[in-house]
Amino acid sequence: GVDRFCFYHLAYGGRGADIADADLDSTAKRAAVRRLCELTLAYHDRGEEIETLLVGNYADAAYLVEFAREKFGETHARRVYRYLAQNGGDPAGERVADIDYRGNVHLTQFWQGYSLGNVRDRSFDAIWEDDSNPLVEFLRTRSTHLSGKCAECRYQGICRGASRLRAVAATGDLTAPDPQCYLTPAEVHGDLPDEYDGEEVPSPAD
């Protein structure tokens, strides 16, 4: 049987930019993610081990907290949130980099249309630590720049505005919400309980 399933959201960069119009709308995207969550639970309920990965849209992180709250209650939702907080949300410009075969350094493997520099001209460290690049500075301080629902979202700590590449590709505005965020207004707004910020992360076996 299947022991690992990976669901990739479409990135609007490279060849993905050419088929952005074919992407699922946010309603269909949410339904697909929910179906994957339910199938994963069904596998585990039958005693089968499966690892399900959701890649490329950190709205999924927020949705997993909401799904856990619905299915298992607030205690489990808080536990899921704390695990996801350790991941830190979308990593572009901070914890992930891509170096192509020519030596060009990109923010991620999907930002192929933008190069920070070339490792044949400068060391990777020099390129990556150069905060004078306005795009790098934006991504590393994005929480102070996001607009719309992203600026107001209570899940910003585990999402960080999701894909800035999709935002700029769809709207021309780097600060705009990710067009593939499918969270409802009720899920976006409001404050999380203080306990969500705790550092202790219980064992999965607890």
* Cα 61 to the center of its chain, rounded Å: 7
Q: Give a yes or no: residue 203 inside a domain.
A: no
pLDDT tops 80 at residue 196: no
Q: Do the domain assignments include residue 204?
A: no
* Percentage with pLDDT > 70 across the chain: 94
Q: Which secondary structure element, helix H or strand E, spans residue 4, and what is its range?
A: strand 4-8
14's CB contacts (< 8 A; 6+ apart) are: 110, 112, 113
pLDDT at position 25 is 92
Whether pLDDT at 124 is above 70: yes
Nearest 5°: phi and psi at 115?
A: -115, 135
> Do residues 44 and 141 touch, judged by C-beta distance below 8 A?
no
Rg (CA), the chain: 18
Structural domain includes residue 199 = no
Within a domain: 171: yes
Indicate if the pLDDT at residue 5 is higher than 80: yes
Mean pLDDT of 23-29: 92
205 within a domain of the structure (yes/no): no
Give per-residue pLDDT as tens, 58-108.
999 999 999 999 999 999 999 999 999 999 999 999 999 999 999 999 999
The single residue listed with the structure tokens 């919400």 is: 177
With a cut of 80, say whether residue 200 has pLDDT above it: no
pLDDT at 204 over 50: no
Type of residue numbered 168: V
pLDDT for 10: 92
CB distance 89 to 58 below 8 Å: yes
What whole-number percentage of the chain has pLDDT above 90? Answer: 79
Give the alpha-carbon dihedral of 40, 43, 48, 52, to 10 degrees.
-20
**Tokens 């946010």 belong to which residue?**
26
Q: Is residue 200 assigned to a domain? A: no
Query: What average pLDDT does range 11-36 have in this prediction?
Result: 90
Which residues in 29-168 belong to E strands, given as ranges? 51-55, 98-99, 104-106, 117-118
Here the tokens at position 26 are 């946010």
pLDDT band of 144, cuts 50, 70, 90: very high
- Cβ neighbours for 137, distance < 8 A, ≥ 6 positions apart: 131
Identify whether 132 is part of a domain.
Answer: yes
Mean pLDDT of the chain: 91
pLDDT for the residue numbered 198? 55
Q: Which of 107, 134, 102 is nearest to 121 (CA)?
A: 102
The helix or strand, by DSSP H or E, that contains position 74, with its residue range, turns out to be helix 74-87
Count of domains observed in the chain: 1
pLDDT at 195: 64
Structural domain includes residue 19: yes
Domain span at 58: 4-194
